[in-house]
Structure 1
Amino acid sequence: MELLCNAPAHATVPDRYVFPPEKRAALQLNDDATSDVTLPIIDLHHGTLSDNRRRIQVAAEIIAAGKEYGFFQVVNHGVGDDAVQAFRDAAAGFFALPAEEKLPYCSYDMSKRFRLATSTSYDRGETRYWRDYVKFRCYPPSDDNVRCWPSRPASFVPRLVEYCEAVHGLAQTLLALIAEGLGLDKGFFAGDLSGGDTHMSLNYYPPCPDPTVTMGLLAHCDRHLLTVLSQADVAGLQARHGGRWLLVRPVPGAFVINFGHQMEIVTNGVLASVEHRAVTNSVAVRMSVATHVHPTDGCLIRPAPELVDEEANPAKYREFMFSEFMEAYDAADASREGVLEFFKIHHD
């Protein structure tokens, strides 16, 4: 497998990474798409959410941001900067290993519990995306998961466990706040809706000699419930909003939060899963750490009855098992409308 992280710096973009002009990011942007729009930044006031007034206010801010953008950033979230940086350093160390040490992990087999690959599993054509990635199950740290994790660098496993424990707690806090903001029981998302193995994507984008001709990652929506993303201080994530692509500008110490398809379906469309993509840069390595909260495979997914009104707001989606959704997502090559069409209810 030909990985970008194994190659010396490129002087030019190889042909296999050059997109047709109509598919390049620069030509997909409207004139006002580069305007400086900052996504909502929500202060979680870590340690003080027991104050009922503050909790209600934060929950309302999350729902407002979710309805408007589908993306927001959180600060004062309780995950220590040291834990974040230590794992980011360990992950960068893995990508920097000699090619022969990474070779045993290289695979496009999506059933593997830890796999290293390049471009994307959803290649819509022969053009490659300027990206290497690792995908694996990161929480809970069960024996089945841990035995698949790399032994080098030596810091990888302990730093991963520490990081995932902290991010899992943050995700559960956010899900409780989302439920309360929607008028649901605070434990609504607990149990099967968030009880599947938590997955992680480590995305590695090396400097690109000409970012105008290629892409880091295709436009897509996430398949699961919630994503907690660390993008550090290098920009590259873009979110679609009102026909524009907005750059998600890094905020020191913040996590970027976005909703997956399951959140959109369970909330009957109140909180949408928004398309996003990654662009490249010519100056610095960008590495994002995305933690994805999944339902269990056997979880029954359906719009929350509290958010359905048969006359004013009927159910938009049918009931299904999460395992069925996973199969449909792969069949639709991650296309937002393609996968949702499998589950929509069309009312006369």
Structure 2
Amino acid sequence: MYICSCCISSRDIVATYSIEAKKLGLRILELLSEGLGLGSGFFGDKLRESLLLSVNHYPPCLDPSLTLGGDVYGLQVFKDREWIGVEPLHNVFVVNIGHQLQIISNNKLKSTEHQAVTNSRVARTTAAFFINPLDYCVREPDKSLIGTDESPTYRPFQFKEFLLNYLRLMGNPEKCLEPFELHA
């Protein structure tokens, strides 16, 4: 079996990058948990040992209107009922708050609705990193983040239950949290 040296070096680069991205992601989670008052080590052993890396390539599309967006930046976030392009900056990571942090914080942090769009002139490649809890890990609002005059917004559930629902709904941000919401 022959393996060219460019493949080995590319694999090594991706492996090193993944390790460093995981360190950065865990540090950001640590800072968020401290900022919320949950203390250092809140996530502890509740996270997967592996990091999910998703690499996507978007070739130029002559008619971007036929895809998920227009001839704009590649990443858009939904804010104030409109899609806003996120300007790509060198040496910058974009951090999206996910559903799990929204649940733990009892809606003090909000999940970021976002989409990727094509460009008619330029191809681009993205690398998205996901840090997820263990499948059996129970997700629910942390009691210390529920004010005395409020109730928990979500019922306790295992992450695998959320993930199955999320995949079934193809990530529909308007519907994926509904089965876990508590209604007063």
Shared fold (TM-score greater than 0.5)?
yes
Q: Which amino acid aligns with 1:339?
A: C
Equivalent residue, structure 1, for 2:145: 307
Give the Cα separation in 2 of the matches to 1:245 and 1:279.
11
* Shift in alpha-carbon separation, 1:251–1:279, aligned structure 2, 3 A: same
Per the TM alignment, residue 159 of structure 1 is displaced from its structure 2 partner at its CA by: 1.2
Give the Cα separation in 2 of the matches to 1:270 and 1:180.
14
Equivalent residue, structure 2, for 1:292: 130
Give the Cα separation in 1 of the matches to 2:164 and 2:118.
30
Give the Cα separation in 2 of the matches to 1:290 and 1:244.
23
Give the Cα separation in 2 of the matches to 1:270 and 1:332.
24
Q: Could you say which structure has the larger radius of gyration?
A: 1
Equivalent residue, structure 1, for 2:158: 321
Q: Deviations over 1:199-235 (max 9, x none)?
A: 111111001111123227xxxxxxxxxxxxxxxxx93
CA contact (8 A) 1:197 1:296 kept: no
1:216-231 equivalences under 5 Å are none
Q: Which of 100, 125, 146 matches 1:262? A: 100
1:24-35 equivalences under 5 Å are none
Equivalent residue, structure 1, for 2:77: 239
Identity %: 38
CA contact (8 A) 1:235 1:286 kept: no
Per the TM alignment, residue 196 of structure 1 is displaced from its structure 2 partner at its CA by: 4.7
CA contact (8 A) 1:196 1:294 kept: no
Equivalent residue, structure 2, for 1:172: 26
Equivalent residue, structure 2, for 1:337: 174
Give the Cα separation in 2 of the matches to 1:190 and 1:256.
23
Give the Cα separation in 2 of the matches to 1:214 and 1:330.
21
Q: Which amino acid aligns with 1:258?
A: N
> SS in structure 1 opposite 2:17?
helix
Q: Which of 200, 209, 212 matches 2:62? A: 209
> SS in structure 2 opposite 1:239?
strand
Give the Cα separation in 1 of the matches to 2:65 and 2:90.
27
Cα root mean square deviation, aligned: 1.8
**Which runs of no fewer than 5 residues in structure 2 stay unpaired?**
none
Per the TM alignment, residue 189 of structure 1 is displaced from its structure 2 partner at its CA by: 2.2
Instruction: Give aligned pairs, total.
Output: 178
* Shift in alpha-carbon separation, 1:252–1:152, aligned structure 2, 3 A: closer
Give the Cα separation in 2 of the matches to 1:196 and 1:314.
32
> SS in structure 2 opposite 1:268?
coil
CA contact (8 A) 2:135 2:158 kept: yes
**Which runs of no fewer than 5 residues in structure 1 stay unpaired?**
1-150, 217-233
Q: Which amino acid aligns with 1:260?
A: G
Q: Which of 33, 36, 41 matches 1:187? A: 41
Q: Which amino acid aligns with 2:38?
A: L
CA contact (8 A) 2:18 2:53 kept: no
Show structure 1 runs of 4+ deviating over 4 A: none
Give the Cα separation in 2 of the matches to 1:249 and 1:181.
27
Give the Cα separation in 2 of the matches to 1:173 and 1:333.
29
Give the Cα separation in 2 of the matches to 1:240 and 1:214.
17
Per the TM alignment, residue 152 of structure 1 is displaced from its structure 2 partner at its CA by: 7.6
Per the TM alignment, residue 263 of structure 1 is displaced from its structure 2 partner at its CA by: 0.8
Give the Cα separation in 1 of the matches to 2:55 and 2:122.
16
Q: Which amino acid aligns with 2:171?
A: A
Per the TM alignment, residue 313 of structure 1 is displaced from its structure 2 partner at its CA by: 2.1
